[in-house]
Chains A and B, each alone.
Chain A
Amino acid sequence: MALFATALLALTISAALSLVFSKKPAWSAFAGAGGNVLAAALGLAALAFAGAKPHLNLPWAVPGGQLHIALDPLSAVFLAPMFVLCACGALYGVSYGGLNRRTGTGFLLYNLLTASMAVVFTARNAMLFLAAWEIMALCSFLLVVTDYENPETRNAGWVYLVATHIGTAFIIALFALAWHKCGSTEFADFPKAFAALPFAAVALLSVTGFGAKAGFFPFHVWLPKAHPAAPSHVSAVMSGIMIKTGIYGIIRMISFCPPPPFWFGGLLASIGIISGVGGVLFALAQRDIKRSLAYSSVENIGIIALGLGMGWMGAASGRTDIAFIGFAGALLHVINHAFFKGLLFFGAGAVYHATGIRDMDRLGGLRRFMPVTALTFLAGSAAIAALPPFNGFISEFLIYSGAFKAVIAGRGAGFGGLAVILGLSLTGGLAAACFTRVFGIIFLGEPRAKLAVEHGEPPLMVGPMVALSALCLFMGLAPQFAARLVTEPALMLSGAPYADLPSRLQPVGLLGCAVVLLSLALWFFRKRLLAGRAVASAPTWGCGYSAPAASMQYTASSFAQPLVDFFGIGTAKKIEEPHGLFPSHAMFRSETPDIAKSRFYRPLFENIEQRMSSLRVIQHGNIHAYILYIAAALVALLVWTLK
């Protein structure tokens, strides 16, 4: 625990130092990134060499609060990817953000965000948890609005700030209810409180409150706005780790409850299907790379929810093995998604850094200018499409396995399992479509517009991407190591072990190795065949058309058009057709607004605004009247306490 506390200390001190040196950006970048990497090393060491029940409990002046943090397997499974990704992001951020007057505040906020997430994952006291949660929300908000000069960025920040606080309100309500029942804010006393509360209340408050942070459909509306606006290393950390605090919160709260009934697992699985399919469909329809990646985070959160749902459905039907596999798959996906989504956001950031463009339809052929970025982005795309031999497949394999076991078990769990299989397979096929599109359109073929590729590939940006893609491949080829990471927490949640998970995953890893080796063998086979023969280079065959141009290539929009039209997710098209014999002007434009935003939130908030407008009479800017309100409120309170 001393190591962990030192890591937190390193983060806060380096945060302070980077602010102090903000007049000398190079120093503050060195302090900030160095502190973050040091903290990651210390933190990972703390996880590796954690004692039996490491915890730290200090008094705190806040009423009802205690500085109580503890490490357990569930915390560790979230902390490990957090330290890795945050350290990678800090290094990447040095090059991405450049050295300027914002470097100091940037690293101050970034390291505070890292520290607050570390506390969120370890807090054992409701007040401390909420304090860290709020610091996390505010730091990430301020990081999102780094480019505050842009009105769109300000709007994104505003939406994020509102969404996260609506979620926090539900969490506060949950903690207040618990405090009311047991008179304590210590998490250790929560089981008593939750036993006295109806399960449905606890479940719905947690799923709504934490789900807003996690980005469950339809609480996801802030994600596609905030992620494109934020600097890329911040998007990577927000998408890879910060939204997982929502998942962590749900798991932690439900672990304080008596065993949840079957419907709760079903609820999470339904949320998973809606988020998974909805997220990936909207990801397919986007032209902005980072917005597409943000929607794909909604999809992956859905996959995690599917795994958790499978786990709780299994547990409720008395099948601890199904529960174990479901939880193990969900938790492994938490780790995997942190790595490949971090990698993909870094790649998207590198593209933006080099070209200044985020619109896929104007990119293309970047493979030539950024070969390392292209290769790592390819690894990330294969991993996120759950293809062997990468890590994304391992976690989905576990969730599928749980679902197939449930189908075999039959009864209620059987239909749950079938729904999970259906959701996963549909999401899987669509994710493959989505990421062949993102990678193919950006990096392959020819540039669609005149591109000015600058800056090349700075080593501090390439290094983290290479490291993360190596991790993705390693965890796919040797899944037995990945399985060890999640065995303990899954055991904690399911209550009973499932024999020998690592050795059951070994054949999957071996076949993954076989694919890699066979590819290499075939590659060299072809090389030997072609040695000494005529190997020519010619323009792509235009089927007889002799003047092909780069602008004739398929674009991201045309690639996605059949799928987007088939699923009817409300793409608005604006077409001006060419007229006459020598048409001078024609245009086509398509845009896919978020269905939850346009059909649900906007009418809702407009309605609320209309109803509340009558209250505007009391808000008229007259300061005397406001003082009168305060006095009246005080008198009312006095009367109420005297009564």
Chain B
Amino acid sequence: MTAIADFAAALLLAPLLPGVINRVKAFFAGRRGQSVFQLYYDLRKLLAKGAVYSSASGFVFRLGPVASLAALLAALAVMPAGGHGSLASFDGDIILFAYLLALSRFVTVLAALDTGSSFEGMGASREVFFSALAEPAFFLSLAVLAKKAGAFSFNLIFLSANPVTGTPLLLVLAALFIVFLAENCRIPFDDPNTHLELTMIHEVMVLDHSGPDFALISYGAALKMWLLGAVVVRLALPFGGGTGGAQSPALFLAGIFALAIATGIVESCMARLRLLKVPALLLSASMLAFAAFMVS
């Protein structure tokens, strides 16, 4: 029951995250900024619109947004993205989680290639490049968590009586935060504000989506941020071990919005990295996770 409540809360509240980030960025820039509910307004508007499809595109382009969101929803089922456990839990759900995110990326990249635009091809190429380097970092971090908890299921890891602490925790958190920024296309990897620059990645892949399709994509992006943010938050905050520990939804919500604020601060204080430097940062995430494995 509590898991269903968490699931519903994630579905409802995820679009707040980009709103919070934008508000923080506006604060740093000395502007008032848009409402934190902006994405909800956008979604309502987009869902009410018609659509324009590129004449070059076909079935795969239409499959992209739906399959991508479907994969993210399935991933939410195995992620304890709230104060309690997840909807479904079994040995190896961490592997399924990572590959569901990969599925979502796979169909998005193909939809981008289906338009035949060289801009979108460029974004697609970068997306697969950076995610291929982020994947090892994510899996190495999972290995650290699994080793410490003695289990490889998110529920057992996050409710473990033997949580990761001290130096390994800091190292893994750093690695996972880098992966969080990279996978959600935030600065320093990608600038969500730019739509037409040669350095962009995610935003360029969805240039040709419109109307309900674009609503599904924007919502999916917010949900993905909630999902990967949950990994960082569940790890960073003391949720207490075992079944008797404090399982507080309030603590989780505080954590995930604090993460959004932190992301906003990073975006306000940093510039996007030069494209050539991005692989180095992703490799360093793998190194951090590996170091955590060695000292834990």
> Is B55 interfacial (CB-CB < 8 Å)?
yes
Question: Which A residues lie within 8 Å of B152 (CB)?
Answer: 401, 404-405, 408
Q: Which of A360-392 contact B (CB under 8 A)?
A: 364-365, 367-368, 371, 375, 378, 382, 385-388
B33 at the interface (CB under 8 A from A): no
Contact status B102-A385, CB under 8 Å:
yes
Cross-chain contact A432 with B132 (CB below 8 angstroms):
yes
Q: A96–B100 Cα gap in the complex (Å)?
A: 36
Contact B114 A440 (CB under 8 A): yes
Q: Mark B135-165, 1 if CB is under 8 A from A, else 0.
A: 1101110110011001110000000000000
Judge whether A441 and B208 touch: CB under 8 Å. Answer: no
Q: Is B273 an interface residue (CB 8 A)?
A: no
The distance from the CB of B2 to the nearest CB of chain A, in whole angstroms, is 20
Chain A 553-583: CB-based contact to B (< 8 A → 1; otherwise 0): 1100011111100100000000000000000
Mask, A498-516, CB within 8 Å of B = 1, is 0000001001101100111
Q: Which residues of A contact B56 (CB under 8 A)?
A: 365, 445-446, 539-540
A436 touching B96 in the complex, CB below 8 Å, given contacts A429-B136, A540-B208: no
The smallest C-beta distance from A476 to any residue of chain B, in angstroms, reads: 11
Decide yes or no whether A453 CB sits under 8 A from chain B: no
User: A560 CA to B47 CA in the complex, in Å?
Assistant: 35
B92 touches A400 (CB 8 A): yes
Q: Does B60 contact A (CB under 8 A)?
A: yes
Bitwise interface map of B from 9 to 29 toward A, beta carbon under 8 Å scored 1, else 0: 000000000000000000000
Residues of A within 8 A of B90 (CB): 504, 507-508
Contact B103 A388 (CB under 8 A): yes
Name the residue of chain A whose CB is nearest to the CB of B138. A425
Q: Assess whether A562 is in contact with B126, with CB atoms less than 8 Å apart.
A: yes
Q: Which of A515-559 contact B (CB under 8 A)?
A: 515-516, 518-519, 521-523, 526, 529-530, 533-543, 548, 550, 552-554, 558-559
Number of interface residues of B (CB under 8 A): 82
Q: For the complex, give the distance between the alpha carbons of A53 and B71 in Å.
A: 45
Structural contact, B106 and A432, CB atoms closer than 8 A? yes
Q: Which residues in window 207-264 of B have CB below 8 A to A?
A: 207-208, 211-213, 216
Given A508-B92, A559-B125, is A388 in contact with B109 using a C-beta cutoff of 8 Å? no
Asked if A428 is at the interface of the complex by the 8 Å CB criterion, the answer is yes
Are the C-beta atoms of A425 and B117 separated by less than 8 Å?
A: no
Given A387-B102, A440-B110, A522:B69 Cβ within 8 A: yes
Which B38-69 residues sit within 8 Å CB-CB of chain A?
47, 49-60, 62-63, 65-67, 69
B156 → chain A closest CB, angstroms: 11
Inter-chain contact B47/A529, CB cutoff 8 Å: yes
Q: Is A83 an interface residue (CB 8 A)?
A: no
Q: Chain B: which residue is nearest A423 at the CB level?
A: B136
Asked if A540 and B96 make an inter-chain contact with CB atoms under 8 angstroms apart, the answer reads no
Interface residue A426 (Cβ < 8 Å from any Cβ of B): yes
B124 touches A534 (CB 8 A): no
Rounded to whole angstroms, the CA-CA distance of A538 and B99 in the bound complex is 34
Chain A's closest residue to B125 (CB) is: A559
Identify the stretch in A172-180, A234-242, A253-261, A414-422 within 8 Å (CB) of chain B at 4 or more residues. A414-422
Q: Is A444 an interface residue (CB 8 A)?
A: yes
Give the CA-CA distance A444 to B207 in the complex, in Å. 16
The answer to whether B117 touches A553, judged by C-beta atoms less than 8 angstroms apart, is: yes
Q: How far is the CB of A96 from chain B (nearest CB, A)?
A: 25
Using Cβ atoms and an 8 Å threshold, which residues of chain B touch A418? 140, 143, 293
A413 to chain B, nearest CB (A): 12
Report the bound CA distance from A566 to B280 in whole Å: 10
Chain B residue contacts of A401, Cβ below 8 A: 91-92, 95, 152
Quick one: which of B103, B128, B212 has the most chain A CB within 10 A?
A: B128
Give Cα A76–Cα B190 distance, bound, in whole angstroms: 50
Given contacts A426-B135, A508-B96, A522-B69, contact A558 B146 (CB under 8 A): no
Q: Are B106 and A387 in contact (CB under 8 A)?
A: yes
Identify which of residues 105-140 in chain B touch chain A, using a CB-to-CB cut-off of 8 Å.
Answer: 105-106, 109-110, 113-122, 124-126, 128-129, 131-136, 138-140
Residue A393 interfacial (CB < 8 Å): yes
Q: Does A433 make an interface contact (CB < 8 A)?
A: yes
Contact A515 B129 (CB under 8 A): no
Q: Which residues of B are found within 8 Å of A440, using beta-carbon distances?
A: 109-110, 113-114, 124
Counting CB contacts under 8 A, is B73 at the interface?
yes
Q: Tell me the bound Cα distance from A441 to B103 in angstroms.
A: 18
For B100, give its contact among A371, A515, A530, A563 (CB under 8 Å): A515
Complex Cα distance A558/B90, Å? 41
Cβ of B170 within 8 Å of any chain A Cβ, yes or no, is no
CB distance from B111 to the nearest CB of A (A): 9
Chain B residues closer than 8 Å to A407, beta-carbon distance: 143, 146-147
- Closest A-B pairs by Cβ, 8 of them: A554-B121, A429-B132, A445-B116, A440-B113, A518-B70, A433-B128, A533-B50, A429-B135
8 A-B pairs with C-beta separation under 8 A: A375-B59, A388-B71, A408-B150, A425-B140, A428-B102, A522-B216, A559-B125, A561-B125
Which residues in B have some Cβ–Cβ distance to A below 8 Å?
47, 49-60, 62-63, 65-67, 69-71, 73-74, 77-78, 88, 90-96, 98-100, 102-103, 105-106, 109-110, 113-122, 124-126, 128-129, 131-136, 138-140, 142-143, 146-147, 150-152, 196, 207-208, 211-213, 216, 279, 293
- Beyond contacts A441-B113, A522-B69, A559-B121: 18 other A-B pairs, Cβ-Cβ < 8 A, are A365-B56, A385-B102, A397-B92, A404-B92, A407-B146, A418-B140, A432-B105, A444-B116, A515-B74, A522-B216, A533-B50, A536-B50, A537-B54, A542-B117, A552-B118, A554-B125, A559-B125, A563-B132
